[in-house]
Structure 1
Amino acid sequence: MPVFAPDPFAASAADRSACRAAIRAGSKSFFAASLLLPPSVRVSAYGLYAFCRLSDDAVDEAGGNRAAALARLERRLTAACAGRPDNHPADRALAEVLARHAIPEKLPRALLEGLAWDTQGRRYDTLSELAAYAARVAGAVGAMMTLVMGVRDGPALARACDLGVAMQFTNIARDVGEDARAGRLYLPREWLDAAGIDPDAFLAEPRLGPSLQRVVADLLAAADELYARAEPGIAALPLSCRPAIRAAGLIYAEIGRAVEANGLDSVTRRARVTGARKAGLLATAILPAGGGGLSAPPLPETAFLVEAVTHHPVPAARRLPPWWNVSGQVVRVLDLIEVLEERDAFRRSAAS
């Protein structure tokens, strides 16, 4: 059941509008899927996303001052957790979300830890080490979204973390070349060694070959196993929230299929899911979610996130407002995707 506590303050309408604009500009897929959420959940989701986006951008744009940028983010997070956010829409929205939904500080702190690993240029020897990274930059977000939807059960949180890790694995499989050209390599070193790929040589000159294709295929297979593990968790969410989360999982899994359709070439090509295909997946998302397998234990790499929630005090609860018009919301989302696709096509033609 959704959890709310009396807010020591509230983000303004302008703050919430700014957060909504951030998600619309930063991720059309996430924005479209978010419209399937009940309005109250959607507002909190925008607040979470805005801070995640702000954090990611602050580190990426800091250049040689990434450590200082991370220190500033740590300070801002501490202030938001204390109910004294910095004068920025994302900070005020985050503070409201953390207080309203009783989100443990350890969850957003894990996200910043993952960003710190990026600034350190950390590489990962095993799939487990990569999963530990994904737990921080994506699993923590999945856990926070689950709390925003009012679910605090350990098994449901474990499945949400599975979904976040799966999505991050998909991102990594899609962006191998882009990451390498930026000096980053996330593929497990053990896998690269077994494939005869020298990591430093690959970073110096990213090339596609059968060995790399096998590594990418293996990572997508690991992601697919986690998407399957995550599916039962959707049935544990409020009925009104299930279509949006199922849509997000389906769209991300489809990115993996697009990578495969590109011949597992993540070096010279970037896999994309068309607007029409996203629309089809969004329509599929209203179908019932499976319920078996919910009780599987969390991944060892995400267990600390689940434990942080189960040991966190919970305020009084109340129900989400009714939200029954799922089919009507799907129609709105499909219309939005069509508008966004047409707008993109217009901009591309104007630029050419």
Structure 2
Amino acid sequence: MYDYALVHVVFTIPWAIALSIILGPLLTRRDVYKICFLQLIAVSYTIPWDSYLIRTKVWSYPPDVIIGPTLLDIPAEEVFFFVIQTYITTCLQILLSKSVVTATYLHNEADPQDAVGRSLRPWKYAGQVIFTLCSVVPLFFGGGHAQGTYMRLIIAWASPVLLMLWIFAYQLLLTLPWTTTLLPIAAPTLYLWIVDTIALHRGTWSIELGTKLGIHVWPHLEIEEAVFFLITNMLIVWGSTAFDNAMAILDAFPAHFPVVPGMPSPILLLKVLAKKSRSFYLASGVFSGRLRIDLILLYAFCRVADDLIDDAPSAKEADMWVKHFSHFLDTVFSSKCDRENVDQALAPFPAEARSILVLLPSDKLKSAPLYSLLDGFRIDQRFFSEGSNENPPIKTFADLERYASCVAATIGELCLCLIYQHDPDQAASADTKRKCLTAGAEMGRALQYINIVRDVNTDAKVGRCYIPKEWFHQSTLSSPEAEEKEILRHRKRILEISFKMYAENRDAIEDLPLYARSGIRVAVESYMEIGRVMRERMQQGKALDFVGGGKSGRASVPKSRRIWVGWKTMAGWRGSV
């Protein structure tokens, strides 16, 4: 009795609840919109087809396995299946795609310099031919209740939509990590095959003998049912990917789309996808939406500067790179900045660095923090100057504070500049912004102190020591063991300073714009968790290096713990001080 409803109670609803709990703290407004959008399309497109199958007796349900209410002869349990399958598969695709910046996978097949884009062209045409044939050929075979009717109807129903989605999203489907395209198809498909096997064996639903091929994937699982669940999950994941494709274009090309609605209309999404398939691309690395892109571009700038300056083979060459970066900033922040001047400022840099630097969102940033960042690199280089042993750059705690301000407080300020620039509400008062910028700079210093405590040994190997020289008492350094104890004591001291600053400033996160609040929480808590792990190990008398399998002697947090901390933080958990 009521076997079909029991299928949902036992097999589908628990998975939907589990995914909702896991994904809930990570969901954005766009994610919710995408889920609802795909639900509407899936249900609207499937109901007429499913109703036809039932009315023509291609498949049927014994009266005693369903509750009773129907929609166009479709049992309520069946309609619910459309809804919950779409929900489960979409949630899984969203969850697995959280770490991916979709805009970095956009290409232009018409650009001769975009080798990846051009290499995808044959696959695009092959897919178009295959799905076009699958859409047309089944219409010319069979009729009535001939053998294979069910398979023919599945292919004819799904192929036109697969063709459209392939045209709109083939680039992402071919280039995104398999964990975001294949896995969210394969996992629910395999699970639903098992559920379907149980249902067919119990007689919850059945396929008419004359309309099926009589082929089984395994006992009780008809080939038609296996293909149906595979194709429906493909439709869901491909539709979700096409949605992501459209949103990535909206985010990545503000010149073409100055305003991005919080919930773009289906017509706008179709226009974007149609236009993109002809011309848009993103040549290099690109939170959510445009903010996420600009934050990654800022990070890329800092990464390039760190690599070129810090890894320079000599102090002279490092100083040269600092000058090149300073000239580049002079140019992009000049009122007379034009393409020719920018090209000249970029000329000394390697090609890969140029492709990143030219994307720096300088129109949304203040120049002073970027110049201060270069001052931090200059402090680093002083460790290698003559006489640095007697006169190191970090002699006092004030020197350490200044260094942390240059390399970390500046980053906090720059990130908040981008957050306020992209704030869709623009509701923050001037006083709130000042408070948050001050707290952001303090938090940046706190995180840099965690970094310094973590990297004491690796820094020492390259001749750097960020522990203030005035803290050391030469009389206590009579042996390596005594020196190690002294260094450990100073690491504890810096770590406690970091936690004190964190405790004093973390509440300011709640005054940030709502759309960026969770992302900042996760970024801060993930880094502070390194400090918590080190503090735990100090209390237990364990070595601080290789925590969680860190590389190059650096302490790190195990991946499972990082994921757990990130999830709890998004759910509103506040880290310990």
Tell me if both proteins adopt one fold, taking TM over 0.5 as the criterion: yes
Residue type of the partner of 1:169? Y
For 1:138, the equivalent position in structure 2 comes to: 408
1:13-65 CA-to-partner distances (Å, cap 9, x unmatched) read: 534xx234xxxxxxxxxxxxxxxx12111011011101100100011221111
Whole-Å separation in 2 of the counterparts to 1:289 and 1:136: 30
Residue type of the partner of 1:38? S
For 1:274, the equivalent position in structure 2 comes to: 558
For 1:117, the equivalent position in structure 2 comes to: 379
1:148 aligns with 2:400: no
Match of 1:56 among 303, 306, 311: 306
Whether the aligned pair in 2 keeps the contact of 1:124 and 1:186 (CA below 8 Å) is yes
Aligned positions of 1:1-352 closer than 5 A: 13-15=281-283, 18-20=284-286, 37-64=287-314, 65-82=317-334, 83-84=337-338, 85-86=342-343, 88-94=354-360, 97-99=361-363, 101=364, 103-121=365-383, 122-150=392-420, 153-193=433-473, 196-197=476-477, 209-263=484-538, 265-266=543-544, 269-288=553-572
Residue type of the partner of 1:19? G
Q: CA deviation at 1:210?
A: 2.1
Q: Report which structure shows greater RCO (CA 8 Å, sep ≥6).
A: 1
Q: CA deviation at 1:241?
A: 0.7
Whole-Å separation in 1 of the counterparts to 2:331 and 2:481: 42
Q: CA deviation at 1:193?
A: 2.8
Whether the aligned pair in 2 keeps the contact of 1:213 and 1:265 (CA below 8 Å) is no
Q: CA deviation at 1:133?
A: 0.6
SS at match of 1:63: coil
Whole-Å separation in 2 of the counterparts to 1:135 and 1:255: 20
Residue type of the partner of 1:41? L
Whether the aligned pair in 1 keeps the contact of 2:413 and 2:441 (CA below 8 Å) is yes
SS at match of 1:120: helix
User: Structure 1's 247 and 129: CA in aligned 2 closer, same or farther, altered over 3 A?
Assistant: same
User: Structure 1's 257 and 93: CA in aligned 2 closer, same or farther, altered over 3 A?
Assistant: same
Q: CA deviation at 1:208?
A: 6.5
Residue type of the partner of 1:80? V
Residue type of the partner of 2:487? L
For 1:342, the equivalent position in structure 2 comes to: none
Whether the aligned pair in 2 keeps the contact of 1:195 and 1:212 (CA below 8 Å) is no
SS at match of 1:131: helix
Q: CA deviation at 1:178?
A: 0.3
Whole-Å separation in 2 of the counterparts to 1:55 and 1:192: 32
Whether the aligned pair in 2 keeps the contact of 1:126 and 1:190 (CA below 8 Å) is yes
Whether the aligned pair in 1 keeps the contact of 2:409 and 2:443 (CA below 8 Å) is yes
For 1:27, the equivalent position in structure 2 comes to: none
For 1:315, the equivalent position in structure 2 comes to: none
Whole-Å separation in 1 of the counterparts to 2:563 and 2:531: 17
Q: Taking structure 2 as the reference length, what is the TM-score of the superposition?
A: 0.41
User: Structure 1's 148 and 178: CA in aligned 2 closer, same or farther, altered over 3 A?
Assistant: same
Count of residue pairs the alignment pairs up? 255
Whether the aligned pair in 1 keeps the contact of 2:394 and 2:400 (CA below 8 Å) is yes
Identity value in percent: 25
Residue type of the partner of 2:524? G
Whether the aligned pair in 1 keeps the contact of 2:310 and 2:377 (CA below 8 Å) is no
User: Structure 1's 147 and 164: CA in aligned 2 closer, same or farther, altered over 3 A?
Assistant: same
Whether the aligned pair in 2 keeps the contact of 1:134 and 1:165 (CA below 8 Å) is yes
Whole-Å separation in 1 of the counterparts to 2:556 and 2:487: 20
Name stretches of at least 5 consecutive residues in structure 1 with no aligned partner: 1-5, 21-36, 291-352
Residue type of the partner of 1:49? Y
1:88-136 CA-to-partner distances (Å, cap 9, x unmatched) read: 2222221xx221x2x2211111101111111111532222221111111
Whether the aligned pair in 2 keeps the contact of 1:173 and 1:220 (CA below 8 Å) is yes
Q: CA deviation at 1:207?
A: 8.6
Largest Rg, 1 or 2: 2
Whole-Å separation in 2 of the counterparts to 1:68 and 1:80: 19
Whether the aligned pair in 1 keeps the contact of 2:400 and 2:468 (CA below 8 Å) is yes
1:201-223 CA-to-partner distances (Å, cap 9, x unmatched) read: 9xxx8997222211111110011
For 1:336, the equivalent position in structure 2 comes to: none
SS at match of 1:271: coil
Whole-Å separation in 1 of the counterparts to 2:295 and 2:490: 34
1:120-175 CA-to-partner distances (Å, cap 9, x unmatched) read: 11532222221111111010010010010007621110110111101110000000
For 2:194, the equivalent position in structure 1 comes to: none
